[in-house]
Amino acid sequence: MDSIIRIENLIFEYQRDETEKPVRALKDINLEIKRGSFTAVLGKNGSGKSTLAKNLNGLLLPTGGTIYVNGYDTKDEEHIWDVRQSAGMVFQNPDNQLVSAIVEDDVAFGPENLGIEPAEIRRRVDKALNDVNMGAFKGKAPHLLSGGQKQRIAIAGVVAMKPSCIIFDEPTAMLDPKGRNEIMKIIQELHAEGITVVLITHFMEEAACADRVIIMHNGEVFLDGTPEEVFSQGEKVRSVNLDVPLAVELAAKLREEGIDIPANIIGTEEMVEYLCQYK
């Protein structure tokens, strides 16, 4: 089995209240996420990207269509916990997802829920905390940590459950640039270790790290491809009120001036590397 998440004709509707007509947040989405891949989902507020994320581990259930995670249907109540164990989720607000007042107890929360042996939980907690470089903080209280550190604890809490896939729902939206960089580094490390990553974001630079970019617009998949493919369609990206990464924009302007920049340059660092040849 090659794809970890398979979405077939997904429709999701919700009602603000009884009398109102249901709002269709997701309109007939078909996607496959490959095992071990790194997918970034971009979109403006209200594009349905967060709703999509919550559908991927059964927090929201599809109105129509089906989602398979690791082969389990998310609507199958018998396997809902298998779904959630397979597809962990990190949320936007680092404060509101930590359960315990001690870092290591919080990381242990997930494995405890899975009914794992105490000695094995201990091992997993220590490993997960080291993975996110927070080993030294295991006895601390979360409210004394910075936003970026709290978010790293939240990631460790998910990693300790040994998921095959982690869905990050705008994990850096509430962080400062330093915290943002830390989180992005950890996400890339987890991906390198073989975990499938789905990153919901509205930062273009973050999306440029992925190997696949999906742009959502009005509850539909608007663009889907490698970052190079997607960002080379600058006009289309801008038409849904998103920006292309700075490096891509610069490359386009340089091309207009007759300087040939390869199409695969989308990250700031690669751009610097490339331009410095002209020194």
Quick count: other Cβ atoms within 10 Å of Cβ 220? 14
Closest separation between CB of residue 76 and other proteins, Å?
15
Segment interacting with other proteins, rule: CB under 8 A, options 2-10, 53-61, 235-243, 252-260: 53-61
Inter-residue contact 40 to 207 (CB < 8 Å): yes
Quote the DSSP letter at residue 145. S
> Any idea which residue has 């601390």 for tokens?
140
SS3 52: helix
Closest separation between CB of residue 62 and other proteins, Å?
17
Segment interacting with other proteins, rule: CB under 8 A, options 140-148, 200-208, 218-226, 256-264: 140-148
23 binds other proteins (CB under 8 A): no
- Determine whether 274 is exposed, middle or buried from the number of CB atoms within 10 Å of its CB (0-12, 13-18, 19+): middle
Encoded one letter per residue, x for contact with other proteins by CB under 8 A and - for no contact, window 212-231 reads --------------------
Q: Which H/E stretch holds residue 8?
A: strand 3-14
SS3 166: strand
125 binds other proteins (CB under 8 A): yes
Output the six-digit token pair for 237: 């990206």
Closest separation between CB of residue 90 and other proteins, Å?
9
Residue choice 31, 41, 69, 108 for contact with other proteins (CB under 8 A): 108
Give the separation between CA 140 and CA 146, rounded to whole angstroms: 12
Encoded one letter per residue, x for contact with other proteins by CB under 8 A and - for no contact, window 86-105 reads --xx-x-x-xxxxxxxx-xx
For the chain, the straight-line distance linking the first and the last C-alpha, in angstroms and rounded, comes to 49
Residue choice 13, 112, 224, 243 for contact with other proteins (CB under 8 A): 112
174 binds other proteins (CB under 8 A): no
Residue choice 63, 66, 81, 275 for contact with other proteins (CB under 8 A): 81
SS3 127: helix
Which residues of the chain form contacts with other proteins (CB under 8 A)? 54, 57, 59, 81, 84-85, 88-89, 91, 93, 95-102, 104-105, 108-118, 121-122, 125, 139-143, 154, 157-158, 161
